[in-house]
């Protein structure tokens, strides 16, 4: 009995030791997530749209001047940067405490200069000028902003101005801001502007001296650029923001070892010289670059499609531009898998190309929104669809225009046949009615004749009887 008790104790101790070692090993292998000062933050693999880290990423936040990411992309899509704009009185009429680029009413400014001044020193006056240049008025531009947010897929955002000065009804979420930033980064001019450390504007009709604007994003500034530098070599660019209500905000993007990350930190309240939003950003970048590796999510060949223009007898072949890779960590059990996708084609853009075009290859003609799942988390990402080739189709192949003509002829003949049959039926019915009517008239005449004959017979008999 005692021996059995001792044996059980030994077994229990061995089990306890094994559990202890399992816990230790699991703690060693687990990836340590960054501890942030920001009240909300997000880190995203820009290639796939996968969220690598989130802290209240779906909660509402105030974007402050990161709003200007949207203003910049709308200006880039709608303005000729080589042209100039006259500064209006309304544009330079700013709320108290607004950041500005010291523009003057009546000053003539180049649109490219306005963009640099807006994105580097966060000029609210520049944002207003660009808004008026795009839409004619700031109010109309705000309508355009919210339409663009919906188009991009920012469903939990609403903007009330072009610059981000605080308004309770001007809000977004970290997830939405990453969708906006990812969209903006497709524009090479946007990346060029936001990755510039300083920019010089020449004298204008209202300002005699040059103006030199330095980027407020300390992550891209070296010690030579500024004593305030928080330089991080893998950060390419981004946009800062600040209001009392929003706290210190930052959206940024970086590249290392062919990994492309975008991030956002929101509502960092510390006002120390080190500016802790940059500490958060660096920690997020390091977490993403050091703990995730690429795996193939989508093969280009698996997402190839075609469309046939029957009027032109042309077949258009298009697909995603390249294989899509997604970042995954070593402690994730399953690889990301595609759930479904939704295609949106710009047929006006597609149909302007023909087989003799020389510049159609790799032209963006639409997008594909792909939904993914990894473990228990689902997410989506829009990818460009590009035109690969154009083929001439046979006049008899498929459902082309020639065949449509044949079908139309068959339809006409069928209609004629049906009408002929109906006419035959109506004719037969009409003849039957006439035949019946004739028969009825014939019987009626017969009956009358019978009656007359009957009367004559009676008269004849009467005469005989009188004899």
Told to judge if 122 belongs to the known catalytic residues of this protein, a careful annotator would answer yes
Told to judge if 65 belongs to the known catalytic residues of this protein, a careful annotator would answer yes
* List 55, 68, 239, 381, catalytic entry: 68
* List 98, 99, 122, 182, catalytic entry: 122
| Side-chain-side CA neighbours of residue 393 (13 Å) | 21
* List 48, 65, 319, 328, catalytic entry: 65
Contact 123, 56 (CB under 8 A): no
Told to judge if 68 belongs to the known catalytic residues of this protein, a careful annotator would answer yes
SS3 for the chain is CHHHHHHHHHHHHHHHHHHHHHHHHHHHHCCCCCCCCCCEEEEEECCCCEEEEEECCCCCECCHHHHHHHHHHHHHHHCCCCCEEECCCCCCCCCCCCCCCCCCCCCEEEHHHHHHHHHHHCCHHHHHHHHHHHHCCHHHHHHHHHHHHHHHCCCCCECCCCCCCCCCCCEECHHHHHHHHHHHCCCHHHHHHHCCCEEEECCCCCCCCCEEEECCCHHHCCCCCCCCCCCCCCEEEEEEEEECCCEEEEEEEEEECCEEEEEEEEEECCCCCCCHHHHHHHHHHHHHHHHEEEEEEECHHHHEEEEEECCCCEEEEEEECCCEEEEEECCCCCCCEEEEEEEEECHHHHHCCCCCCCCCCCCEEEEEEEEEEECCEEEEEEEEEEEEEEEECCCCCCCCHHHHHHHHHHHHHHHHHHHHHHHHHHHHHHHHHHHHHHHHHHHHHHHHHHHHHHHHHHHHHHHHHHC
**Catalytic residue IDs:** 65, 68, 122
């Amino acid at each position: 009995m005692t021996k059995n008790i001792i044996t059980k104790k030994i077994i229990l101790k061995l089990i306890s030791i094994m559990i202890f070692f399992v816990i230790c090993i699991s703690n060693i292998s687990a990836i340590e997530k960054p501890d942030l000062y920001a009240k909300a933050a997000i880190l995203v693999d820009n290639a796939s749209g996968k969220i690598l880290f989130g802290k209240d990423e779906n909660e509402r936040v105030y974007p402050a001047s990161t709003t200007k990411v949207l203003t910049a992309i709308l200006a880039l899509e709608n303005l000729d940067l080589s042209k100039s704009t006259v500064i209006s009185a309304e544009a330079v009429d700013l709320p108290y405490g607004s950041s500005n680029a010291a523009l003057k009413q009546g000053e003539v400014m180049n649109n490219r200069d306005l963009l640099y001044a807006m994105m580097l020193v966060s000029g609210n006056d520049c944002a207003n000028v660009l808004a008026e240049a795009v839409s004619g008025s700031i109010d109309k531009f705000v309508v355009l902003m919210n339409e663009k947010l919906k188009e991009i897929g920012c469903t939990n955002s609403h903007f009330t101005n072009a610059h981000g000065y605080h308004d309770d009804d001007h809000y977004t979420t970290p997830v939405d801001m990453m969708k906006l930033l990812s969209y903006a980064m497709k524009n090479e001019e946007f990346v060029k502007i936001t990755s510039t450390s300083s920019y010089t504007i020449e004298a204008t009709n209202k300002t005699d001296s040059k103006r030199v604007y330095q980027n407020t994003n300390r992550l891209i500034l070296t010690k030579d650029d500024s004593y305030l530098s928080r330089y991080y070599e893998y950060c390419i660019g981004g946009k800062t923001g600040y209001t009392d209500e929003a706290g210190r905000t930052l959206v940024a993007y970086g590249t290392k070892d062919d990994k492309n990350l975008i991030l956002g930190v929101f509502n960092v309240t510390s006002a120390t010289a080190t500016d802790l939003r940059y500490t958060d950003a660096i920690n997020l970048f390091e977490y993403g670059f050091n703990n995730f590796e690429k795996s193939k999510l989508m093969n280009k060949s698996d997402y190839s499609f075609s469309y046939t223009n029957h009027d032109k007898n042309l077949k258009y072949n298009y697909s995603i531009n390249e294989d899509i890779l997604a970042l995954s960590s070593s402690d994730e059990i399953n690889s990301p898998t595609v759930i479904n996708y939704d295609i949106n084609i710009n047929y006006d853009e597609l149909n302007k190309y023909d087989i003799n075009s020389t510049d159609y290859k790799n032209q963006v003609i639409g997008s594909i929104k792909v939904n993914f799942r990894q473990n228990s988390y689902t997410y989506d990402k829009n990818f460009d669809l590009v035109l690969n080739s154009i083929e001439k189709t046979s006049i008899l192949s498929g459902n082309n225009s020639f065949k449509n003509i044949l079908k139309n002829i068959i339809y006409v003949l069928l209609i004629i046949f049906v009408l002929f049959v109906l006419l035959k039926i109506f004719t037969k019915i009409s003849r039957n009615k006439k035949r019946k009517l004739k028969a009825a008239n014939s019987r009626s005449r017969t009956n009358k004749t019978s009656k007359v004959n009957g009367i004559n017979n009676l008269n004849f008999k009467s005469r005989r009887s009188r004899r």
